[in-house]
Structure 1
Amino acid sequence: MTTVHEASYEILRSQGLTTFFGNPGSNELPFLKNFPSDFRYVLGLQEAVVVGMADGFAQATGRPAFVNLHSAAGTGNAMGALANACNSHTPLVVTAGQQVRSMVGVEALLANVDAANLPRPLVKWSCEPACAEEVPLALSRAIHTASAPAMGPVYVSIPYDDWSKEAGPGVEHLASRRVQHAGSPSANTLAKLAARLERAINPVMIVGPDVDACSANDTAVALAEKLRMPVWMAPSAPRCSFPTTQRCFRGLLPAGIASISRLLDGHDLILVVGAPVFRYHQYEPGDYLPAGAELVAIFCDAQEAARAPMGDAIVADIGETLEGLLREVHQSSRPIPAAIKRPEFAPEEPGPLRPERVFDLIDEMAPRDAIYVNESTSTTNLLWQRLRMAEQGSYFFAAAGGLGFALPAAVGVQMAKPDRRVIGIIGDGSANFGITALWTAAQYNIPSIFIIMKNGTYGALRWFAGVLEVENVPGLDVPGIDFCAIAEGYGVQALRADSSESLTKALSRALASNKPTLIEVETRAP
């Protein structure tokens, strides 16, 4: 007899989901019993941190990651992190334990009432199998759904008495299934788009996170150079899809309607690749497009294509479409855009360090292939101006703006990319949302570097208070937090920096170490 437990583990093994990120409760213990020696369990101390680690791991590997949460309470704790994963198209297979079937109807303690609806709309698909025999099929469907374009999180709630039941007939076919996706645009579609680009007098390209996710950054560079187009990074970008050192690169677009339209003024054709059109933030009404401009966007997500407020859309594989366009278009005779001048190295000044100075020192000392995980939200524009990010997969940011992403994601990304240095740059307000990830980094000896930009305030909120013209708002300051003491309490070596000299020494020590390190940096508000 093959049990549901045995069949499910064989499916997970065959599909490569042998690393679990979780925080177990009583409902999950029957699933985790006799944990196989070829699987790895990564414990997080809170569910949002668990999902954040899995999010970083899945984005960095490009493959689904497996998450195990505790019933409704654990799922609720993870919802903010699920919002980030949903917006970044992160393939996560999220499972949650459920009470035994006979106790769900009476709503016993730890029953997940209406379990499939709980995580919606933050998952692509969710279910609670109708019977134990359906559990292996539900897991198989979850894995393939998470991986299908556009990728994203899925959710399966599983009653804990199902694991010991007998699996149904035909279950042996599930483990070996493979699902392939063919999403190339037609030759006619490519030819029409290429002709449109070649007719344009002054085209511009805007690249989004899905370019980096499909490892197509080099193709985007080649297309920009061939058509002599300037390139912007899409607003609120959770990944870096174009080298910030490349001469066509113009920077990170702001997240306001009027500001984007103003910066794109003078371009007659706007090509958006792998990004929503657009992910706005602050309320800044205006024209969606500058006068005389047309927009065409290439999406991997049909929902993003449908909800765009302007422009034409093509839903297709991002990488293959860029490669097809590159073959189809002819070399432009326009002059190539002149490279923008990098800012001067920020000068040494008395008192707390300016964020610009911190970024300059990090950029000077970090390996060129370093990976940055950012959650210093008030200094994001400065980061994009001063850090040289030229390699594929060099940057990650909370796609939905949910705080608590960077600390755990830096752990997950470092697990996925052990040969590259991962540096989390995190505001002191943001850090508290995911601080328990330090424990996981220490326990599993994951050598991420966590740089806490400590200015004692929610800098992004202070900026918004100015934008919204509101005064005397409570709750904007977070003084009196000793991050070094917290880190040491979790077992992470901690260093404090309040000058260029001390920051340089701390960075040298952290980069030379093979252990996780937290650096608390006294900074000025930007």
Structure 2
Amino acid sequence: MTTVNEAAWELLRRNGMTTVFGNPGSNELPFLAGMPEDFRYVLGLHEGVVLGMADGFAQATGRPAFVNLHAASGSGNAMGALTNAWYAHTPLVITAGQQVRSTVGQEVMLSNVDATVLPRPLVKHAAEPTCAQDVVRSLSQALHTATLDPAGPVYVSVPYDDWSEAVGTDVAHVLERRVAGGGGVAESEITRMAALLDAAAAPVLVLGPDVDSARANDDAVVLAERLGADVWVAPSASRCPFPTDHPAFRGVLPASVAGITERLTGHDLVLVVGAPVFRYHQYDPGEYLPAGTRLLHVSCDPGEAARAPMGDAVVAPIGPAVAALAKAVTERDRPQRWERTDDAATPAASASGTSASGRLVAADVLATIDELAPEDAVYVNEATSTVGDFWATISMHRPGSYYFPASGGLGFGMPAAVGVQLADPQRRVIAVIGDGSANYGITALWSAAQYGIPVVFVILANGTYGALRGFATKLDALNAPGLDVPGIDFVALAEGYGVTGRRASTLPDLRDAVTVALAADTPTLIEVTTEALARL
């Protein structure tokens, strides 16, 4: 007799999902007790960290990751992290243990009441199989749904007495299934967009995270060069879709209506690829587009295309669309403005790097990291008050070089860095984390230590929620409570979790600490005391 448990593990194996991220509870034990030896279990000490690690792992591999949570309580603990996965289009198959099927209606302890409602609207699909014989098919539906465009998280609640039941006779069909998404975009749409781009006097590209997810970065460079178009990254960038040292690169658009319109002024056609139009944050109203400017939008997400307040949209797989457009547009001469000047170079760190207060300046800290890091380093950034300094300073050339919380939900950085490094062991992951952000995912240090994952964690410790202070200044709310987080010893915390900790108060200290950390094959945390205010 083949059990539901045995068939479920086989389904995961056939789909390459042999790493399980979880934090088990009683409802999950009957499933996990049958885990085959060729699977790897990665334990996180909090469900938010579990989901964050899986999020980073799935984004780095481009394949779905498997998550196992504990009933409603564990799912609730992971909900904040789920917002980032949703807006990042991360393919996650999230399972949660349910109480024994016959007792759920009684709402006994650890019942997941209305389990399919709980994670919405942050999942593409949520299900609880109607019987044990439908568990494997439900998991199959979930993993295929997670990977089809737009990719995203899905959720399946499984009563724990289902795992020991016999499967139905049709399970072989489920195990053998393959589901493939559409491979391209209509030629007529490519022809139409290429004609509009060719006719534009001053086109500009705005690229989003789905370009990097699709590994369409190189084709985006070809498209920009053939058009002679400047390139902006879409607001609140969660990935880096274009090399930051390319002369066409202009930076990241601000997340405000007026700010975006100001930067797009002078362009008669805006092509937005792989991002919403637009994901605003700070309320700064104005005209959505400069007068006389037209917008074209290419998205893999029908929801993003439908809800945009302006522009013509095409829903298509991002990779094939960018490649087709790069071939279809007419090549122009290289613009004179792309000729580099000394001012365009990455700023070098100053001799001391310290401010009048004796603290290090974040831009100098980042310049030092950029100087010492390997050319193919991967950065996970959650120092939210220094995002502007980061993009102005750090050189990123290759696909999959940058990750940031897609919804702005804190607690992503440290766990995601562990997941990315686990997924991509050939590249070094450097996590730049604010001291306010770090506390949301600090237990990721334990997982990094236990599994020997050599992330370099750099904590920018300024004793405050820097981004929040920036908004408090703009909103005339500096008298609000809870803006500061003084008195945290991150070196002691790191060592308590089994991670080597160092403190750097000068640039020479930092250079030495980063050099040693990059040479190590175990995780390291470097606490850097920085100036409280930074460029947002």
Q: Does 1:407 pair with 2:414? A: yes
Q: Which runs of structure 2 are paired with 1:311-350 in the superposition (5 Å)?
A: 311-333=311-333, 335=335, 337-338=337-338, 339=340, 341-347=344-350, 348-350=352-354
In the alignment, what sits opposite 1:171? 171
Cα distance change of structure 1 residues 162 and 499 upon mapping to structure 2, 3 Å threshold: same
Asked if the contact 2:6–2:34 (Cα under 8 Å) also holds between the matched residues in 1, the reply is no
Find the residue that maps to 1:115 and give its secondary structure. Answer: coil
Which residue matches 1:307? 307
**1:169 partner amino acid:** T
For the 8 Å contact 1:229–1:336, the answer to whether it is kept is no
Partner of 2:42, secondary structure, is strand
Q: Given residue 344 of structure 1, which amino acid in structure 2 is its aligned partner?
A: P
Tell me how far apart the structure 1 counterparts of residues 235 and 387 of structure 2 sit (CA, whole Å): 11
User: Counterparts in 2 of 1:219-258, with a 5 A limit?
Assistant: 219-258=219-258
Offset at residue 408 of structure 1 (A): 0.3
Letter in 2 for 1:245: D
The aligned residue for residue 119 of structure 1 is 119
Query: Using the alignment, how far apart are the partners of 2:252 and 2:214 within structure 1?
Result: 20
Cα distance in 2, alignment partners of residues 257 and 335 from structure 1:
28
* Per-residue CA distance 1:259-289 (angstroms, 9 max, x = gap): 0000100100000000011111101000110
Cα drift, residue 2 of structure 1:
1.4
Q: Aligned partner of 2:211: which letter?
A: V
Specify the alignment match of 2:360 in structure 1. 353
User: Which amino acid letter does the alignment assign opposite residue 443 of structure 1?
Assistant: Q
Which deviations, in whole Å up to 9, do the C-alpha atoms of 1:468-504 show, x marking residues without a partner?
A: 1223111000000000000000000011000001001
Q: Does 1:487 align with 2:467?
A: no
Distance 1:104 1:514 in 2: 47
Which SS does the other structure have where 1:285 is aligned? coil
CA contact (8 A) 2:64 2:147 kept: yes
Q: CA RMSD in A?
A: 0.9
After superposing the two structures, state which structure 1 stretch, 67-76 or 319-328, moved more.
319-328
Q: Which amino acid aligns with 1:386?
A: T
2:497 matched to 1:497? Answer: no
Please give the per-residue CA displacement for 1:204-229, whole angstroms capped at 9, x wherever unaligned: 00000000000000000011000100
1:140 aligns with 2:133: no
C-alpha distance in 1, partners of 2:335/2:93? 47
Q: Which runs of 4+ in 1 moved over 3 A?
A: none
2:160 is equivalent to residue 188 of structure 1: no
Q: Take 1:373 and 1:335, find their aligned partners in 2: how far apart are those partners? A: 33
Counterparts of residues 127-526 of structure 1 (less than 5 Å):
127-333=127-333, 335=335, 337-338=337-338, 339=340, 341-347=344-350, 348-350=352-354, 351-525=358-532, 526=534
**TM-score, normalized by length of structure 1?**
0.99
- Tell me by how many angstroms 1:343 deviates: 5.0
Look up the equivalent residue of 1:493 and give its one-letter code: T
Q: Which amino acid aligns with 1:342?
A: A
SS of 1:372 mapped into structure 2: strand
Deviation at 1:328, TM superposition (A): 1.2
Q: What letter corresponds to residue 438 of structure 1 in structure 2?
A: L
Q: Distance in 1 between matches of 2:103 and 2:70?
A: 16
CA distances 1:242-265 after superposition (whole Å, capped 9, x unpaired)? 000001000011111000000100
Write the distance in 2 (CA, Å) between the matches of 1:3 and 1:515.
40
Q: Does 1:83 align with 2:83?
A: yes
CA contact (8 A) 1:244 1:390 kept: yes
Deviation at 1:333, TM superposition (A): 3.6
Deviation at 1:323, TM superposition (A): 1.0
Separation in 1 of the partners of 2:125 and 2:337? 44
- Tell me which residue corresponds to 1:36: 36
* Partner residue, 1:52: 52
Question: Is the CA contact 1:225–1:336 (under 8 Å) kept in the aligned structure 2?
Answer: no
Secondary structure of 2:116's counterpart equals: helix
AA at the equivalent of 2:60: A
The alpha-carbon deviation at position 337 of structure 1 amounts to 3.8
Three-state SS of the structure 2 residue aligned to 1:93 is strand
Give the drift of 1:193: 0.6
Deviates more, 1:248-257 or 1:339-348: 339-348
Instruction: Please state how far the C-alpha of 1:103 moved relative to its aligned partner.
Output: 1.1
Does the CA contact (< 8 Å) of 1:229 and 1:337 recur in 2? no
Residue 98 of structure 1 contacts residue 160 of structure 1 at CA under 8 Å; is this kept in 2? yes
CA distance in 1, matches of 2:258, 2:120: 32
The code of the aligned residue for 1:105 comes to G
For residues 286-339 of structure 1, give each alpha carbon's deviation from its aligned partner in whole angstroms, at most 9, with x where no partner exists: 011011100001000000000001100000011101111111111114625424
Equivalent AA in structure 2 for residue 140 of structure 1: S
Is this contact kept in 1: 2:273–2:318, CA < 8 A?
yes
Query: What TM-score, normalized by structure 2, do the two folds share?
Result: 0.97
Kindly tell me the number of residue pairs found equivalent between the two proteins: 526
The one-letter code sitting in structure 2 at the alignment partner of 1:185 is: V
CA distance in 1, matches of 2:379, 2:228: 29
C-alpha distance in structure 1 between counterparts of 2:12 and 2:380, whole Å: 28
Distance 2:439 2:414 in 1: 9
For residues 186 and 336 of structure 1, what CA distance do their matches in structure 2 show? 34
Q: Structure 1 pair 336/29, CA: closer, same or farther in 2 (3 Å)?
A: farther
Percent of pairs identical after alignment? 60
**C-alpha distance in 1, partners of 2:430/2:303?**
33
- CA–CA separation in structure 2 for the residues paired with 1:162 and 1:336: 67
8 Å Cα contact 1:97/1:158 also seen in 2: yes
Instruction: Give the deviation of 1:342 after TM superposition.
Output: 2.9
CA contact under 8 A between 2:255 and 2:279: conserved in structure 1? Answer: yes
Aligned AA (2:449): A
Segments of structure 1 that go 5 or more residues without pairing to the other structure are none
Q: The residue matched to 1:298 in structure 2 has which SS?
A: strand
Q: What displacement does 1:183 show? A: 4.2
Q: Structure 2 CA distance, aligned partners of 1:333 and 1:360? A: 33
The one-letter amino acid of 1:311's match is G
> What secondary structure is seen at the aligned counterpart in 2 of 1:80?
helix
1:12/1:175 contact within 8 Å kept: no
* 8 A contact 1:243–1:249 mirrored in 2: yes
Alpha carbons of 1:35 and 1:344: their partners in 2 closer, same or farther (altered >3 Å)?
closer
CA deviation profile, 1:117-165 (whole Å, cap 9, x unmatched): 0000000000100111110000000000000000000000000000001
Q: Deviations over 1:362-394 (max 9, x none)?
A: 000000100000000000010000000011110
Shift of 1:344: 3.1
Name the CA shift for 1:12/1:349 in 2 (closer, same or farther; >3 Å): closer
